[in-house]
């Protein structure tokens, strides 16, 4: 009964937003959600084959990025509901379907289809520019996030520090790591290990 209770509470809180988010913050959160969904598929595709986990760390990253996606969705859900309630509800369904496939170690092609539909909803509903990926800017953001992670950990805010670490890693992995892996694979692996 617990999952039904949680779903009921989420639906009740769907339009509740205790803090009003600026347009820039909404766009930033939406881009992160889009990015994390992209990584969900990439990590799952690499980590699971024929119903078996072949690379455990990739599977673990899949579940981590999916959890972050859901967390961000819950954060900006009231805004999505105000723009397009049907799209917002569909995104919630898609995230639940992706989660079910990941838990059951289903086909990565199904995850890809659901992820692509989810990304389209995010991009169209929240009108974000997802192609603007300046590597220099990405490194600046990653550096800022790592500083923020250290500050929050120093304050004993470990959950927030972990969330910030995942955001920094997601940004690194989605752009700079792909380029670095081809030019300096050893350095790329070292950086991933540090994350």
Name the token pair of 139. 């490194």
Residue 129 pLDDT greater than 60, yes or no? yes
Average pLDDT of the chain? 85
- Residue 53's pLDDT is 95
- Residue 41's pLDDT is 93
Contact (Cβ atoms closer than 8 angstroms) between residue 44 and residue 59: yes
Residue 71 pLDDT greater than 60, yes or no? yes
Beta-bridge partner residues of 49: 52
Residue 131 — pLDDT band, cuts 50, 70, 90? Answer: low
Q: What is the pLDDT of residues 75-100, one digit of tens each?
A: 889 999 988 999 999 999 999 999 99
For the chain, state the CA radius of gyration: 17
Instruction: Report, as an integer, the average pLDDT of 94-116.
Output: 96
Instruction: Pick the most confident of 52-56, 137-141, 164-168, 178-182.
Output: 52-56
Instruction: Report, as an integer, the average pLDDT of 11-38.
Output: 73
Q: Is 104 exposed, middle or buried (0-12, 13-18, 19+ CB in 10 A)?
A: exposed
Instruction: Report, as an integer, the average pLDDT of 55-71.
Output: 87
Least confident of 55-64, 173-182, 185-194: 173-182
* Residue 60 neighbours by CB under 8 Å, 6+ apart: 47
Distance CA 170, CA 142 (A): 9
CB < 8 Å & 24+ apart, contacts of 174-181: 174/35, 174/38, 174/39, 174/133, 175/133, 175/135, 175/138, 176/135, 176/138, 176/139, 176/142, 179/135
Residue 42 pLDDT greater than 70, yes or no? yes
Residue 51 pLDDT greater than 80, yes or no? yes
Distance CA 65, CA 137 (A): 22
Least confident of 95-104, 108-117, 139-148, 180-189: 139-148
Axis-axis angle for helices 56-83, 23-47 (nearest 10): 150
DSSP-H helix ranges across the chain:
2-12, 23-47, 56-83, 85-104, 108-126, 135-154, 158-174, 176-183, 185-194
Instruction: Report, as an integer, the average pLDDT of 102-126.
Output: 95
Q: What is the pLDDT of residues 144-167, one digit of tens each?
A: 788 889 988 999 999 888 888 888
């Amino acid at each position: 009964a617990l999952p039904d209770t949680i779903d009921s509470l989420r639906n009740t809180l769907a339009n509740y937003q205790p803090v009003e988010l600026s347009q820039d913050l909404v766009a930033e959160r939406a881009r992160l959600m889009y990015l994390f969904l992209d990584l969900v598929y990439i990590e799952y595709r690499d980590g699971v084959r024929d119903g078996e986990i072949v690379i455990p760390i990739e599977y673990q990253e899949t579940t981590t990025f999916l959890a972050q996606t859901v967390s961000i969705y819950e954060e900006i859900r009231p805004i999505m509901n105000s723009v397009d309630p049907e799209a917002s509800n569909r995104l919630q369904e898609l995230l639940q379907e992706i989660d079910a496939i990941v838990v059951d170690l289903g086909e990565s092609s199904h995850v890809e289809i659901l992820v692509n539909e989810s990304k389209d909803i995010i991009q169209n509903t929240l009108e974000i520019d997802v192609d603007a990926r300046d590597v220099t800017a990405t490194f600046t953001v990653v550096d800022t996030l790592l500083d923020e992670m250290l500050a929050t950990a120093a304050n004993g805010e470990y959950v927030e520090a972990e969330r910030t670490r995942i955001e920094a890693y997601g940004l690194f992995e989605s752009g700079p790591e792909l380029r670095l892996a081809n030019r300096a694979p050893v350095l790329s692996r070292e950086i991933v290990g540090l994350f």
